[in-house]
Structure 1
Amino acid sequence: MTESEPGRAVRTYLDHLSVERGLAANTLSSYRRDLRRYLEYLHEVGVAALDQVTEATVASFLVRLREGDGEHPALSSSSAARTVVAVRGFHKFAVRDGLATHDPAGAVKPPSPVKRLPKALPLTEVEAILDAAGAAGTTLALRDRALLEMLYGTGARISEAVGLDVDDLDLTDESQGTVLLRGKGGKERLVPVGSFAREAVSAYLVRGRPALASVGVSTSSTAKSMGGALFLNARGGRLSRQSAWAVLVKAADRAGITADVSPHTMRHSFATHLLDGGADVRVVQELLGHASVTTTQVYTLVTVDNLREVFATAHPRARA
């Protein structure tokens, strides 16, 4: 069979990627596979020359990728996007190299990736992690419990939590306190501290932090670097972001939680549980320190399962 004009152009493009661009073998293999499928589609729809390809041709190829056919399964948005990127690169090269007079693919946008929902833990698992914080009976257990209660109780980012100074806390109210969190771009927000976090932090301040601070004053350099840090490490210095992360991972492991858990998991859980409890999305936006409510609204998608469950049990026409 005589090689078609698009086929020759694709071969030239792949040579360009291999020789001049120096693409890795695996990447080149992906381009070759994606463009082979594109050539098959062009042959199927009767396109024999590059200048016969229109924007509609490329767009319909994208639809075929997403829907699949008898020989190919439907592709995910990310896989289809990768193929479209290969096609766009090919047509751009063809025009630049004089193999075609116009670029029909430039205006065809790859499909947007699926918006991944934040991972939130059930309340029972969050409580199990909090209960498993630190080795029981140790000074560090008081710190670890206070840290994790603060992460879940305020929705603080890990960097915001380890950056706290003692003076950022106001626990004078016996039932609830406040904490000043410094977020991205230096933006500050005042967040309530619930009774559980307040009790854990108070216990740490009275029985845990003084012991850790006394270790830190053994050298003037450590004492100076410690400053007024709220959460201290075993040497009396400010707890690092990495060490705080390790505190959470160890607690999750002790609690037998098999899901991947990170500090952001606690933040996601904070937001999701608030919305499940009836909080307004704009209130959650303020608590999280999001500049736009659009960022916060992704959490409302997490509660869909909860809404379905309520609907199924409460609506008279929802039950079979």
Structure 2
Amino acid sequence: MAYFEPDEVDAMLKSIDRTTDSWRRDYALFALMFNTGARVQEVLDLQVRDVRTEPPHQVRLRGKGGKIRLCPIWPHTAALLRELAQQSAQTIAPEAFLFTNRHGAKLTRFGVRYLLKKYVAAGTPAANTMREKRLHPHSLRHATAVHLLKAGVDFATISQWLGHATLNTTMVYARVDLDIKRQALAQVFPEVLASPRAGHLSPAAVDVVDWLKRL
């Protein structure tokens, strides 16, 4: 599962030149995706009336099966969306789509993938770890889930946040968290977890591996 680390998100966003309307749109788009963990289509379907830019800041997302959920957003994200909605007279209409192309039509999933690929490439010199990953728009959703999990947020809350139909879907991120713990343990006890030379595990290694399996 490829996901963005915080420094990688920062490098990607900082690679976006915000001096034009289209670039400001791109910045707001990816900042919102990381903030909410929303699916690409959920973000593209957002209309001006779905965004609350006054406290409490939030967006109304339409998920799979037409299910509606409210997702909180940071004040900074709200300010970006407010600026985006006021860029042109066309987007002032409540039913207007928030993220549009230069012709006023709704952005497509293909367009979002193209833009992210461009900005990841531009941000890679500042975060070289992105070079080793196959990052795509859904990677931002994964990043939100992993960061919430690492922050100690419970699975039920994360499931509601992401709009999962069942808690089982959310539990896939438990494996990611387990892998992170294993990597951290390997850094602390590298000699214990190292491959045995003679094909046999030492008693200490057996204890550690058994403990890992029970995590």
TM superposition score category, shorter chain reference: 0.7 to 0.9
- 1:204 Cα shift? 2.2
Structure 1 pair 309–162 and aligned structure 2 pair: CA distance change class (3 A): same
Number of residues paired by the alignment?
185
In structure 1, the partner of 2:78 is 198
- Residue 307 of structure 1: CA displacement? 2.7
Change (3 A) 1:136 1:180: closer
Is the Cα contact below 8 Å between 1:146 and 1:197 reproduced in 2?
yes
Specify the structure having the higher radius of gyration (Cα).
1
Of 288, 302, 317, which aligns to 2:162? 288
Q: Do structure 1's residue 246 and structure 2's residue 127 form an aligned pair?
A: no
1:184 aligns with 2:64: yes
Asked if structure 1 preserves the Cα contact closer than 8 Å seen for 2:53 and 2:81, the reply is no
User: SS at 1:142's partner residue?
Assistant: helix
Once the two structures are superposed, what CA deviation does each residue of 1:253-303 show, in whole Å capped at 9, x if it has no partner?
A: 111232222110000011011101111111110011101110100011111
Matched, 1:270 2:144: yes
1:260 to 131, 134, 145: 134
Match in the other structure for 1:54: none
Instruction: Note the 1:132-143 alignment, pairs <5 A.
Output: 132-133=15-16, 135-143=17-25
**How do residues 1-320 of structure 1 correspond to structure 2 at under 5 angstroms?**
118-133=1-16, 135-173=17-55, 177-206=57-86, 209-210=87-88, 213=90, 227-256=95-124, 257-258=130-131, 259-308=133-182
Give yes or no for contact 1:169–1:179 (8 Å, CA) kept in 2: yes
- 8 Å CA contact 2:44–2:98 kept in 1: the answer is yes
TM-score by length of 1: 0.53
- 2:53–2:79 Cα contact (<8 Å) kept: no
AA partner of residue 185 (structure 1) = G
Structure 2: gaps of 5 or more residues: 125-129, 193-203, 205-215
Give TM-score scaled by structure 2 length.
Answer: 0.77
* Unaligned 5+ runs, structure 1: 1-117, 215-222
**Structure 1 residues 228, 172: closer, same or farther in 2, change over 3 A?**
same
- Counterpart CA distance in 1 for 2:102 and 2:167 is 39
SS in 2 for 1:191: strand
- CA deviation map 1:198-234 (0-9, x unaligned): 232233234xx317x38xxxxxxxx9xx951111111
Task: Note the C-alpha offset of 1:314.
Answer: 9.1
Counterpart residue type for residue 3 of structure 2: A
CA RMSD of aligned residues (A): 2.7
Question: 4+ residue runs of structure 1 moved beyond 4 angstroms?
Answer: 309-315
Judge conservation of contact 1:162–1:244 (CA < 8 Å) in 2.
no
- In the alignment, what sits opposite 2:195? none
Per-residue CA deviations over 1:169-225 (Å, capped at 9, x if unaligned) read 11111xx5111111111111111112342232233234xx317x38xxxxxxxx9xx
* Mapped partners of 2:145, 2:153: distance in 1: 9
Identity %: 33
One-letter identity of the residue aligned with 1:154:
T
The alignment partner of 1:233 has SS state of coil
Shift of 1:309: 5.8
User: Shift of the alpha carbon at 1:310?
Assistant: 5.9
- Supply the AA of the counterpart residue of 1:165: Q
Provide the C-alpha distance between the structure 2 equivalents of 1:189 and 1:240, rounded to a whole number of angstroms: 22
